[in-house]
Protein backbone atom coordinates (compact mmCIF):
# COMPACT_ATOMS: atom_id res chain seq x y z
CA UNK A 1 0.00 0.00 0.00
CA UNK A 2 2.90 2.35 0.66
CA UNK A 3 4.02 2.15 -2.98
CA UNK A 4 0.54 3.06 -4.21
CA UNK A 5 0.37 5.99 -1.81
CA UNK A 6 3.84 7.07 -2.93
CA UNK A 7 2.72 6.83 -6.55
CA UNK A 8 -0.28 9.09 -5.87
CA UNK A 9 2.04 11.55 -4.12
CA UNK A 10 4.30 11.55 -7.19
CA UNK A 11 1.32 12.20 -9.46
CA UNK A 12 0.09 15.03 -7.21
CA UNK A 13 3.55 16.65 -7.29
CA UNK A 14 3.66 16.64 -11.09
CA UNK A 15 2.77 19.83 -12.83
CA UNK A 16 0.31 19.67 -15.72
CA UNK A 17 3.09 19.56 -18.29
CA UNK A 18 4.74 16.50 -16.69
CA UNK A 19 1.40 14.72 -16.38
CA UNK A 20 0.56 15.41 -20.04
CA UNK A 21 4.02 14.15 -20.98
CA UNK A 22 3.41 10.86 -19.12
CA UNK A 23 -0.04 10.42 -20.68
CA UNK A 24 1.41 11.13 -24.15
CA UNK A 25 4.23 8.61 -23.56
CA UNK A 26 1.70 5.97 -22.62
CA UNK A 27 -0.42 6.82 -25.66
CA UNK A 28 2.65 6.56 -27.92
CA UNK A 29 3.43 3.08 -26.56
CA UNK A 30 -0.15 1.89 -27.14
CA UNK A 31 -0.39 3.41 -30.62
CA UNK A 32 3.02 1.97 -31.60
CA UNK A 33 1.86 -1.50 -30.57
CA UNK A 34 -1.34 -1.08 -32.60
CA UNK A 35 0.61 0.10 -35.65
CA UNK A 36 2.95 -2.89 -35.42
CA UNK A 37 -0.05 -5.22 -35.17
CA UNK A 38 -1.79 -3.62 -38.17
CA UNK A 39 1.47 -3.75 -40.14
CA UNK A 40 1.82 -7.46 -39.38
CA UNK A 41 -1.77 -7.98 -40.56
CA UNK A 42 -0.94 -6.36 -43.91
CA UNK A 43 2.38 -8.20 -44.38
CA UNK A 44 1.01 -11.65 -43.43
CA UNK A 45 -2.44 -11.33 -45.00
CA UNK A 46 -3.94 -12.64 -41.75
CA UNK A 47 -6.44 -10.92 -39.46
CA UNK A 48 -4.51 -12.49 -36.58
CA UNK A 49 -0.81 -12.90 -37.46
CA UNK A 50 0.05 -14.34 -34.04
CA UNK A 51 -2.00 -16.82 -31.97
CA UNK A 52 -1.43 -18.85 -28.84
CA UNK A 53 -2.16 -22.59 -28.73
CA UNK A 54 -4.72 -22.89 -25.92
CA UNK A 55 -5.18 -26.66 -25.70
CA UNK A 56 -3.23 -29.89 -26.04
CA UNK A 57 -5.16 -31.03 -29.12
CA UNK A 58 -2.16 -30.54 -31.43
CA UNK A 59 0.44 -32.36 -29.34
CA UNK A 60 3.13 -33.38 -30.15
CA UNK A 61 3.34 -30.82 -33.00
CA UNK A 62 2.48 -27.89 -30.71
CA UNK A 63 2.18 -27.68 -26.94
CA UNK A 64 -0.23 -25.58 -24.93
CA UNK A 65 1.25 -22.09 -24.72
CA UNK A 66 3.20 -22.16 -27.98
CA UNK A 67 3.06 -18.91 -29.93
CA UNK A 68 2.27 -19.47 -33.63
CA UNK A 69 3.15 -17.14 -36.48
CA UNK A 70 0.56 -17.18 -39.26
CA UNK A 71 0.23 -16.14 -42.87
CA UNK A 72 -2.90 -16.25 -44.99
CA UNK A 73 -2.02 -15.38 -48.55
CA UNK A 74 -5.07 -15.88 -50.77
CA UNK A 75 -3.04 -17.30 -53.68
CA UNK A 76 -1.51 -20.13 -51.59
CA UNK A 77 -3.58 -23.31 -51.93
CA UNK A 78 -4.55 -25.22 -48.80
CA UNK A 79 -2.96 -28.68 -48.69
CA UNK A 80 -3.64 -31.88 -46.76
CA UNK A 81 -1.27 -32.03 -43.79
CA UNK A 82 -1.07 -28.26 -43.40
CA UNK A 83 -1.85 -26.74 -39.99
CA UNK A 84 -4.54 -24.08 -40.23
CA UNK A 85 -6.13 -21.72 -37.74
CA UNK A 86 -9.86 -21.34 -38.37
CA UNK A 87 -12.92 -19.72 -36.87
CA UNK A 88 -16.33 -21.35 -36.64
CA UNK A 89 -19.64 -19.47 -36.45
CA UNK A 90 -20.73 -19.16 -32.84
CA UNK A 91 -17.18 -19.45 -31.42
CA UNK A 92 -14.94 -16.49 -30.77
CA UNK A 93 -11.70 -18.37 -30.17
CA UNK A 94 -9.93 -19.69 -33.27
CA UNK A 95 -8.94 -23.37 -33.46
CA UNK A 96 -5.51 -24.68 -34.51
CA UNK A 97 -5.77 -28.07 -36.28
CA UNK A 98 -4.41 -30.02 -39.25
CA UNK A 99 -6.14 -30.47 -42.63
CA UNK A 100 -6.86 -34.20 -43.09
CA UNK A 101 -9.16 -34.25 -46.15
CA UNK A 102 -9.63 -31.86 -49.03
CA UNK A 103 -12.10 -31.79 -51.93
CA UNK A 104 -11.93 -29.47 -54.91
CA UNK A 105 -15.26 -28.57 -56.45
CA UNK A 106 -15.90 -28.12 -60.17
CA UNK A 107 -15.87 -24.32 -59.78
CA UNK A 108 -12.34 -24.44 -58.32
CA UNK A 109 -13.37 -23.78 -54.72
CA UNK A 110 -12.29 -26.20 -52.03
CA UNK A 111 -13.79 -27.68 -48.90
CA UNK A 112 -11.74 -29.45 -46.26
CA UNK A 113 -11.88 -31.32 -42.98
CA UNK A 114 -9.59 -30.79 -39.98
CA UNK A 115 -8.53 -32.74 -36.91
CA UNK A 116 -6.28 -32.15 -33.93
CA UNK A 117 -3.20 -34.43 -33.95
CA UNK A 118 -3.96 -35.51 -30.39
CA UNK A 119 -7.71 -36.05 -31.00
CA UNK A 120 -9.25 -39.39 -31.95
CA UNK A 121 -11.99 -37.95 -34.20
CA UNK A 122 -12.25 -35.22 -36.83
CA UNK A 123 -13.53 -31.72 -36.05
CA UNK A 124 -17.09 -32.02 -37.36
CA UNK A 125 -18.29 -31.88 -33.75
CA UNK A 126 -16.60 -28.48 -33.38
CA UNK A 127 -18.04 -26.94 -36.55
CA UNK A 128 -21.26 -24.94 -36.58
CA UNK A 129 -24.47 -27.02 -36.49
CA UNK A 130 -25.06 -28.58 -39.90
CA UNK A 131 -21.56 -27.72 -41.14
CA UNK A 132 -19.57 -30.75 -42.33
CA UNK A 133 -16.65 -29.02 -44.07
CA UNK A 134 -14.63 -25.83 -43.79
CA UNK A 135 -14.10 -23.37 -46.61
CA UNK A 136 -11.16 -21.08 -47.31
CA UNK A 137 -13.15 -18.14 -45.89
CA UNK A 138 -13.11 -19.86 -42.46
CA UNK A 139 -9.29 -19.82 -42.31
CA UNK A 140 -7.68 -17.11 -40.19
CA UNK A 141 -4.15 -18.21 -41.06
CA UNK A 142 -1.71 -21.03 -41.59
CA UNK A 143 1.07 -21.91 -39.18
CA UNK A 144 4.48 -20.89 -40.56
CA UNK A 145 6.56 -20.91 -37.38
CA UNK A 146 6.33 -20.97 -33.60
CA UNK A 147 8.02 -20.05 -30.33
CA UNK A 148 7.56 -22.70 -27.65
CA UNK A 149 5.74 -21.75 -24.44
CA UNK A 150 5.96 -17.97 -24.98
CA UNK A 151 2.15 -17.78 -24.95
CA UNK A 152 1.89 -19.19 -21.43
CA UNK A 153 1.70 -15.61 -20.17
CA UNK A 154 -1.55 -15.18 -22.13
CA UNK A 155 -2.96 -18.44 -20.77
CA UNK A 156 -2.07 -17.51 -17.18
CA UNK A 157 -3.68 -14.08 -17.58
CA UNK A 158 -6.88 -15.65 -18.95
CA UNK A 159 -6.99 -18.36 -16.28
CA UNK A 160 -6.25 -15.91 -13.45
CA UNK A 161 -7.89 -12.53 -14.22
CA UNK A 162 -6.59 -10.94 -10.99
CA UNK A 163 -3.05 -11.67 -12.18
CA UNK A 164 -3.84 -9.87 -15.46
CA UNK A 165 -4.97 -6.75 -13.60
CA UNK A 166 -1.91 -6.91 -11.36
CA UNK A 167 0.41 -7.08 -14.39
CA UNK A 168 -1.39 -4.21 -16.15
CA UNK A 169 -1.33 -2.06 -13.01
CA UNK A 170 2.37 -2.85 -12.49
CA UNK A 171 3.18 -1.86 -16.08
CA UNK A 172 1.22 1.36 -15.68
CA UNK A 173 3.06 2.21 -12.47
CA UNK A 174 6.39 1.37 -14.09
CA UNK A 175 5.72 3.73 -16.99
CA UNK A 176 4.60 6.56 -14.70
CA UNK A 177 7.36 6.19 -12.10
CA UNK A 178 10.27 5.77 -14.51
CA UNK A 179 10.17 9.13 -16.11
CA UNK A 180 13.17 11.19 -16.99
Could you list the active site residues? 57, 97, 123
CB-based contact 142:84 (threshold 8 Å): yes
Neighbour count for residue 54 (Cβ, 10 Å): 17
Which residues fall within 8 angstroms of residue 54, CB to CB, at 6 or more apart? 64, 93, 155
Task: Give me the phi and psi of 103, to 5 degrees please.
Answer: -130, 130
Number of residues assigned to the chain: 180
- In eight-state DSSP terms, residue 128 is P
What is the C-alpha to C-alpha distance for residues 4 and 9, in angstroms, rounded to an integer? 9
Which of 162, 142, 133, 151 is CA-nearest to residue 55? 151
> What's the start-to-end Cα distance of the chain, in Å?
24
DSSP 178: S
Amino acid sequence: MDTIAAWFDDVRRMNKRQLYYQVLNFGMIVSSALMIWKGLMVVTGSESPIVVVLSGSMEPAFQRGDLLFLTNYKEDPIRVGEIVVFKVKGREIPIVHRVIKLHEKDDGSIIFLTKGDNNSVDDRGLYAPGQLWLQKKDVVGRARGFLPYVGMVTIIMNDYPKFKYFVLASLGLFVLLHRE
